[in-house]
Structure 1
Amino acid sequence: MMRMFTVQHWRTRLRCAVLVVAAVPLFLNAMSALAASDAPVRVKDLGKLQGWRENALVGYGIVTGLAGTGDAPTNRSTKQALANVFSQFNMTIAPEQVQSRNVAVVMVTAALPTFAREGDTLDVTVTSAGDARSLVGGTLLLTPLKAPNGRVYALAQGPLSVGGYRYDANGNVVQKNHPTVGSVPAGATVEVGTGANMVDARKNITFVLAEPDYTTANRVANAINAQLGAPLAEARDASGIEIRIPESLRDHPVQFFSRVENVTVEPDRRAKVVINERTGTVVAGGDVRIAKVAISHGDLKISIATENTVSQPFYIGHGGPGVQTAIVSNSHVDVDERNAPAFVAATNNTVADLVQALAQMKTNTRDIISILRAVKAAGALHAELVVQ
């Protein structure tokens, strides 16, 4: 499989990796043995009870106190918003009369947890909704945060924390990160508490796996029944395990939930290899298997040197209109193929073995990614290949 040409300063270097899918038995087989026997984990680390969810809140507010970096004076939404604020304090000012660069209209967002009581505080995120250049040094005025049902559940206010800045003068700009986004830690106060009903009409609860898998769901149900000493759980599908609350604990559901959450189980793991070509990252479980294969890796370098010369006629201007100066390019191509092939063959190999073998051959990460994709295309990689 050949790589694309890249040209720099009239010279082109080509690296070529010829792949025939592969693996080697190395000391990383020990890693595979360890990965195959994963330690049991708690049920609560595999998912959550059905009904457990966060609720999105959003509001529209104003940030004041900016040092001339707010919305432009011609921004109509800013003028109207500021005039509305003034009207709350018995000040009648027409929107057309509002002129300020120290104010910015913003959108405020927060997440209301599953169980929230009046007086709890929430972190809020503030983003510019106008043409403000920076929110550094600003303070968010009192902003109601609403849920999709239109009801106000929290009130947000406080000074902004911005992880960046922007300063400009005379056409020069110095900027770090995104100065038009900030946060107010614990800046919202819950006004209306929320809760969730985890128990259905039949006095059952449903545990939902974060990653649906039939094998894991069946193991969770069996572990709950074994460790609680009664047939209370049954896997309904790949993600849901229905659990019956015993009559002795129906008046104490929290105690029963705690016992279920702390049940330990050995989950099944689907074989995956995740690669990120932008950062050159490869992540795979140590026990991800590949078929018996081999690697041949070589290096081909092509250099193209171009020399430009000028052909100057002796009698320019006396030989007619067709006589003129010409630029002549002479190119020299040099091909250097350094064959350093490596061939290995083995059985019961893993991706960890393959990566270790390629590293010993001084193969860079991006070539390893190409090799893994070729292995998958050949049908020798027994795992799902996820390309980010």
Structure 2
Amino acid sequence: MIRYMLSLALLCCTGLAHAQTLGQLVNVEGVRENQLTGYGIVVGLAGTGDGSQAKYTSQSIKNMLNQFGVRMPDNAQLRARNTAAVMISASFPPGYRRGQTIDITVSSLGDAKSLRGGTLLMAPLRAADGETYALAQGNVVVPGVAASGRSGSSVTINTATAGRIPNGATVEREIESDFASTPTVRLNLKRPNFQTATNIVHAINRTFGVAIASTEDATSVDIAVPANAGSRSAFVARLHRIAIEPAGDAPKVVFNSRTGTVVISQGVTVKPAVVSHGALKVSIDESFNVSQPEALGNGQTAVTPQSSIDISQRGGNAFQWKNGASLQAIVDTINSIGATPDDLMAILQGLSEAGALNAELEVI
């Protein structure tokens, strides 16, 4: 497993950086998605909705019925197992106009067992400014299944308390942007880097034959829009097609502490170092002995615990790396001792603490 994982990391990271289009490296400021959220009620469930503990579901049903002229007593207790309170989320794409539709995600807020077969009633979707930008409604598509019996046994596949409604929200209000009115276009780098930002400036100025691009940091590039650029969209489209040679990132070793995955990027080297790695194993077994008295004796039966402790240590493996050992040499050496991902993490962390690893360690 460790050999396959490291070989895959080596295969993906070998070679120098290749030219990419500018559109792959940057985002245009002012042209981005906005998040929308809302609260609603899903109806039509086959007894898998919220229970009596979800008081807000009952209150929401009363409020909805009041809007249609149905008055419910204030002390009325509703047990609407066919309904469920849900939260709605969606991403508002940049530039969308009134009447266009977007996908939405519906997630149970209470103790509903499943949203399968339910229909979301009309609900407003708001942005961070509190304004309503879309209205959501439609049939919920749930990829998961949940079933249970009276004995308490149950079967669950995926998640049945969340689903999607394709084209489930209609845009009712546009999100304003100053993209078309500002005299400059700002490009924000997805991975800030001083050299990459400098390369972008040179490539843009070389393409247009005039110094219209500049940068003062590693994060963004400002571009003055030429008077003869035509439409702003066509100008940005031309920018996105420019070939850029991105700067190589600093060598890095990434540990995933949850899955035990270790990824080593190209360019990682080590200084002269000797590593000895072994494992200490301690096993403790507990058992009980029963002591019986002799027949017709005055003794009593007693239970006595017994502990067996065994300590074993796997033979340590010592190996040495020469100065400037490459990634391939590191992988081959670690694979030769049959190291596990945990062993690899311990070895690389030790090398980093000793100052022998020419790379940045990152734990995710």
Query: SS of 2:148's equivalent?
Result: strand
Distance 1:137 1:87 in 2: 25
Q: How has the CA–CA distance of structure 1 residues 248 and 302 changed in structure 2, closer, same or farther, with 3 Å as cutoff?
A: same
| Corresponding position of 1:213 | 193
User: Does 1:160 pair with 2:140?
Assistant: yes
Contact map agreement 1:64 1:141 (CA 8 A) in 2: yes
Structure 2 partner of 1:87: 66
Equivalence map 1:252-271=2 (5 Å): 252-268=231-247, 269-271=249-251
| 8 Å contact from structure 1 (residues 207, 242) kept in 2 | yes
TM-score (norm 2): 0.86
Contact preservation (8 Å) 2:255, 2:362:
yes
The residue that corresponds to 2:158 in the other structure is 177
The residue identity in structure 1 corresponding to 2:343 is D
Distance 2:53 2:279 in 1: 62
The corresponding residue for 2:319 is: 343
Please list every run of at least 4 consecutive aligned residues from structure 1 whose deviation after the TM superposition is greater than 6 angstroms: 30-33
Q: CA shift at 1:357, angstroms?
A: 1.9
Give a deviation string over 1:307-351, Cα, whole Å, max 9, x none.
Answer: 6544445488537xxx76352626364646545x35233232234
Structure 1 window deviating more from structure 2 (60-69 vs 323-332): it is 323-332
The residue that corresponds to 1:371 in the other structure is 347
Matched, 1:279 2:256: no
Q: 1:315 to 1:371 in 2, by over 3 A?
A: same
Match for residue 308 of structure 2 among 305, 308, 331: 331
C-alpha distance in structure 2 between counterparts of 1:362 and 1:387, whole Å = 23
- Offset at residue 291 of structure 1 (A): 2.1
Cα distance between partner residues in 1 of 2:55 and 2:49: 13
Q: Of 316, 332, 337, which residue of structure 2 is paired with 1:356?
A: 332
Q: CA distance change for structure 1 residues 370 and 89 in 2, over 3 Å: closer, same or farther? A: same
Which of the residues 209, 221, 232 maps onto 1:241? 221
Equivalent-residue separation in structure 2 for 1:84 and 1:32 (angstroms): 57
How far residue 130 of structure 1 moved from its aligned partner, in angstroms, is 2.2
Contact 2:288 2:303 in 1 (8 A): no
Secondary structure of 1:137 counterpart: coil
SS at match of 1:174: strand
Q: Which segment drifts farther, 40-49 or 159-168? A: 159-168
User: Is the CA contact 1:158–1:187 (under 8 Å) kept in the aligned structure 2?
Assistant: yes
2:282–2:309 Cα contact (<8 Å) kept: no
CA distance change for structure 1 residues 329 and 55 in 2, over 3 Å: closer, same or farther? same
1-side partners of 2:50 and 2:311: how far apart?
60
Please list, as runs of the form range in 1=range in 2, the aligned pairs for 1:107-118 lying within 5 A after superposition: 107-118=87-98
- Which residue of 292, 312, 316 maps to 2:272? 292
Q: 2:86 aligns with which of 91, 103, 106?
A: 106
Shift of 1:233: 1.1
C-alpha distance 289-199 of structure 1, shift in aligned 2 (>3 A): farther
C-alpha spacing 1:226/1:303, structure 2 compared with 1 (3 Å): same
Task: Assess, with a 3 A threshold, how the Cα gap between structure 1 residues 296 and 141 changes in structure 2: closer, same or farther.
Answer: same
The letter for the 2-side match of 1:363 is A
Identity %: 36
Amino acid at match of 1:329: Q
- Counterpart amino acid of 2:354? A
Deviates more, 1:159-168 or 1:83-92: 83-92
- TM-score under structure 1 length normalisation: 0.81
Does structure 1 residue 44 correspond to structure 2 residue 23? Answer: yes
How far apart, in 1, do the equivalents of 2:70 and 2:303 lie?
A: 79
Distance across 2 between alignment mates of 1:93 and 1:317: 80
2: CA distance, partners of 1:315 / 1:216: 91
Higher relative contact order (CA 8 A, sep 6+): 1
CA contact (8 A) 1:277 1:369 kept: no
* TM-aligned CA deviation for residue 40 of structure 1: 0.8
| Cα-to-partner distance string for 1:53-106 (whole Å, 9 max, x where unaligned) | 221211111100111111124643222222232333333344626442101111
**Backbone CA RMSD of aligned residues:** 2.9
Contact (CA 8 Å) 1:277, 1:366: kept in 2 or not? Answer: no
Letter of the structure 1 residue corresponding to residue 160 of structure 2: P
Please report how far the alpha carbon of residue 172 of structure 1 lies from its aligned counterpart in structure 2 after TM superposition: 2.6
Q: Which runs of 5 or more residues in structure 1 are unaligned? A: 1-26
